[in-house]
Amino acid sequence: MYSKLKLLLLFVIFFSTSCNLKIGEAPPEVKIPEYKPDSCLIKSTDSFGAFFRGNAATEEIGTAWDCFSSMVKSFKANVRCKLKEQCSPGELARFVEDNFFDENKTSNVKQKAISLNLQKQLMKVKKLFLGGNLEYITPQEMDLLIGLMENLKGIFKDLNPSMKVLTLNWESQLKSGDLTLQDFESANINFIKIINRFSSLIYKNDNEYFFDDVYEFLSELAAVSDSTWSWLGKFEEFLPLVKKLKKSITGGNENSLLGNEWELFLRLGAKGYVQYLRYYYFIQNTNPEYTSLKLAYYARTIEESFLIFYELLSFKESHQISKDEIYDILNSFSKIWKDFKVSPELTTELMKIKMLFVGGNTEGIGQAEFLKAQSKVQAVRSVVEEFLPYYDFFGLNWRPELLSESEALDKFEKGRDKLKTVISKINTEVQLESGYSLKDFFNLFEEVNKLYPQAADMDDVAGDVKNYACLIQIGTDVLLNKNNYNLGFKCENLKFDKLEFSQLLTRFGEVFSYYMKYHYFIKKQTIFHSKYDQQIQNRNLFIDVINYVYNILNQRKSKMISYTEIDGLINELVKVQILPKELKVSSLKLILKSLLEKILVVNGATSKRKVLGFELAHIEVLKREYLNFMNTQLYFYELYENKLNYTYNYNFFNVNISNTLKATSDLSLKYGLSEFLRHFQTPYPLTMGKDKKLIFVKNSNPYFGQTAVLQMNLTRFLASIIIRSYSKQNQKVSYLKQITECELKELFHDIKPLLIDMDIISPTSGDGFIESRFLEANLFLPHADGNDFASFEEVSELADYIFSALILGDQISVELNKNCKVINEGNLKLMDLDCIRKVYYELADEPSDLVFNSMPSYKNYVAKEDVNKWNEAFLNNLKATGYVPRVDNKVPMGDLSLYPHILQYEETIFLKFDENYDGIINKVEGIKAFPAFASLLRKVAKPQIDNGDINEADLEALFTYILKYGAIPACDKPLTILCVFEQDIRNWLDWKNNYKKSNYDLSANRSKVAKILGLIADLVASTPKSAVQSDNKCQ
């Protein structure tokens, strides 16, 4: 360290000893006075060491400079160079070597010497401060050197109090009490003032100093001191950047500084170093508890950096840094930091971002733009200070569950207000200066992706981003009352002016507020201990969103979202895979068309008004229907509040709902409860388990848990929507009373493509699917009446049955998939019949089974029935799904999925007609069951009735005969007269004539009822389709 510090004196001594020799010429033998170790030199070098550590006494610094000055004066008085008025660098080298390096002599051979290149560099430094010739130093210049040292003494003494800060040896007040923050700023102010004084010492006339010489000079110093300066390599790397900055800011030759440019460049360096000190002490490792202070210093650093450039550009004739110069500077950075990459195209896109915030153009950054940027720093700081305390909140990382319910809601409202404040400040205080196009954003993203491909999480990210262009255009058209998409403008050419940006930011804040509420209180549902309170939040948020959308549309000139925009929205949502890729665009468009033209319209299917898109009227209907559903839900949530696992019986609901209907003034609740009661009241009430499966137990007063009534409210609501939207009956006469089969087919045709996409039904499913559901609604449900219409009660019950069967089917499918192999045959998926039967049988025969726990009577039947008869019954039930037996004994999965539905319908037959619920239907019970099947029998036997084979009056006898014998009487004799000898015919004739007599009886269990279902299925399959279609036509 000692030898390094002595080199600092080399400048002074060198300037005072050089006499007229060419650079590098060997010095003459001249008697030169020596300075012994007990002189002031050693003490002075120690003082300078302390100075650069930041702990020197000010008086010591003055003494050290006096020592150097006296040495120069003594040298001038006592040393004579070869040429009287000119001392060469070679003579200086000899003097230094003899007086400073002698301590390193070994056997009269010097280990160190001042190289010719170092002599050359020292003379360039001499010329920088004193002017003159590079070949020598004159006595006059020595006098100037003495004056220079006097000035440097004053500079070093004034700088000394700031050195601890400047040399990175200060511990800030955040860590200790050495100095205050004011001391830090005072040190910086002092540093800038002293740099200005120092720059005034540089010789201004005809003086050019090259940046490469700085590196050469420092390299030579390192070599002569036997030291390795690790930072010197970094210095060499930074030189290209320094050159580009110099040219961009001051102009001229980028490789050198003229004498009149030093003042400006030193000021840049000093102020830049101050910003680094501020980062080093207050930003780099500041504790989180000092975030506001850290932010303040960020702002101060950025603000002063802008001011530096503003001041420096005042010296440049063009008063701006051009785009090409900016690219050169950034490209220089890329040579220093290999991970940093830039291109002319990226520079152009960055200039467009610059225009957005400070204005100007893309050709450069002007002096005034730096001043404008500086003026906005405090506004940005104010915004960030508002934002930071709610960073986790806005980042969707807040945890409301750690607070009480009231505290969480209060905190949320404060956060939402804070978001409004932040956006307001951005719009009013930060302010954007120009517009920006979507195409420019995509170009920026594409260029970044090209330069930094390793940063992409997926292939072709830039291309993926472009896929959102039309989605953004449609969204902003709606939010900003624009019409670009309808007019066919290219989506990527979308451009926003600064006013639209402000409006868009405000809209974004509003939409994001709603999303935050959903995220924190609806999606997670973690803070509400009360289910009722949770549902209140759900309802209020939905209504707030509906009202918001209404207000947005009301501000549009068209007052709607057009079909063109809707179609585009669907296309884009599928393209970017926000909607499942399984859903086809055509299916979604058909569903939306039905929604807008049939469901969300005031008069449903009877409406004659032409619909052009999503209109204000649709929102009003949506709000009305939602409140109809949700307020009824809230009634049940409140009823079960704080009553976990509590149940109310059937009679309680009949009374309580009736009383509520009389007392309430809430029209939506009155409407909903009235429908619910129509659905709920039945001679054969069925409740549900927690898994939402219907429980088939005969009970006139069953108990209902919350899950059951909530599910029943959903199904009655769906039934209401279906009938109101698709029934074309006279609404004044039959409002919510009934719907025809062909009207249900219309619904089916509308939703069929979506059901196929969702793999709920097979693509081969035709109208038979809805015909079967319509038939089931009229035959098997508690409210079934066997006529040609499906009533509101039947449709709502059918929905209960469908949902219940789907759940039962899912539970059974788990075991089927475990035990049975799926076989692919074209588009069909098949399973082996024997394997299916085995799984069903084992599930139903297992006493602890939870799959068939909703059918206890059926489990009893399975336990008692002969397995062969059960197998036959299984096949008959399977045929009732539409299954046609195959030679290979394989069953299509589509038919198999309907099997749980058939089981439920069969259980309902026993629930309705097996009066003593013993699992057997006798003759009296069979006769009572006949009206439910009469209409179907009449249809399937129509050809036989028409040609006289069957008398319509004999259908009841035929029905009960099938119950008793499990078959339809048939004769295949060539002559009819011979049939009287057939046992089946004799049994039929006997039964037809005598079945009402008391001594004629029948006993039909589930196996025989299954035979009826199988026979009906066979008849339907063999009967012309026109014969079994309803006589009602859609009008």
Q: Is 867 part of any domain?
A: no
Measure Cα distances from 585 to 250, 488, 745, 764, 835 in Å. Answer: 61, 20, 22, 20, 38
* 687-688/648-649 β-pairing: unpaired
pLDDT in tens, 308-362: 777 767 767 778 888 887 787 777 767 666 667 889 999 899 888 888 888 888 8
CA 666 to chain centre: 39
DSSP code, position 19: B
Range of the domain at 108: 1-160
Same domain, residue pair 688 and 569: no
Backbone angles phi, psi at 248, to 5 degrees: -65, -35
Of 111, 126, 160, the residue that ends a domain is 160
Domain-located, residue 786: yes
Torsions phi, psi for 642 (to 5 deg)? 60, 25
pLDDT band, very low/low/confident/very high, at 1034 (cuts 50, 70, 90): very low
* Residue 873 resides in a domain: no
Of 534, 566, 599, which one is at a domain's C-terminal end? 599
Give the count of beta carbons closer than 10 Å to the beta carbon of residue 803.
Answer: 19
Count of alpha carbons within 13 Å of 959, Cβ hemisphere only?
A: 25
Mean pLDDT, residues 292-299: 64
* Separation between Cα atoms, residue 442 and residue 466, nearest integer Å: 6
Pair 491, 577 in one domain: yes
pLDDT of residue 12: 41
Same domain, 781 and 679: yes
Tens digits of residue pLDDT in 563-584: 888 888 888 888 877 777 778 8
Query: Residues in the chain, how many?
Result: 1035
Q: Are residues 2 and 151 in the same domain?
A: yes
Over pLDDT 70: what percentage of the chain? 81
pLDDT tens for residues 604-643? 656 667 888 999 999 999 999 999 999 999 999 999 988 8
Asked if the structure places residue 836 within a domain, the reply is no
Instruction: Please check whether residue 891 lies inside any domain of the structure.
Output: no
Rounded to whole angstroms, the Cα distance separating 1029 from 767 reads 11
Domains of the chain: total:
4
Are 406 and 497 within one domain?
yes
Whether 562 and 704 map to the same domain: the answer is: no
Is the pLDDT at 47 greater than 70, yes or no? yes
- Any residues with CB less than 8 A from the CB of 92 and at least 6 apart, and which? 13, 14, 17, 18, 114, 119, 122, 137
Is 98 within a domain? yes
The encoded tokens of residue 609 equal 């008004």
Strand bridging mode 495-496 / 648-649: unpaired
Residues 476 and 591 in one domain: yes
**Mean pLDDT value of segment 285-303:** 63
Q: In this predicted structure, what is the pLDDT of residue 946?
A: 76
Contact by Cβ (8 Å): 684, 738? no
Note whether 429 and 540 are same-domain residues: yes
Tell which of 160, 177, 199 closes a domain.
160
How confident is the model at residue 170, as a pLDDT?
Answer: 76
Mean pLDDT estimate for the chain: 81
Dump pLDDT digits (tens) for 136-187: 888 888 888 888 889 989 998 998 888 888 877 776 654 444 445 677 778 8
DSSP codes, 83-129? BTTBBBHHHHHHHHHHHHSGGG-BTTB-S----HHHHHHHHHHHHHH
Within this chain, do residues 582 and 644 fall inside the same structural domain, yes or no? Answer: no
Quick check: is 217 in a domain? no
Same domain, 395 and 529: yes
**For residue 447, pLDDT beyond 80:** yes
| 148 occurs within a structural domain | yes
29 pLDDT exceeds 60?
A: no
Q: Are residues 732 and 583 in the same domain?
A: no
Least confident of 51-65, 871-885, 895-909, 967-981: 967-981
Q: Note the pLDDT tens digit of each residue in 111-137.
A: 457 788 888 988 888 888 888 888 888
Given a cut of 80, whether residue 910 has pLDDT beyond it is yes
Question: Do 566 and 669 fall into the same domain?
Answer: no
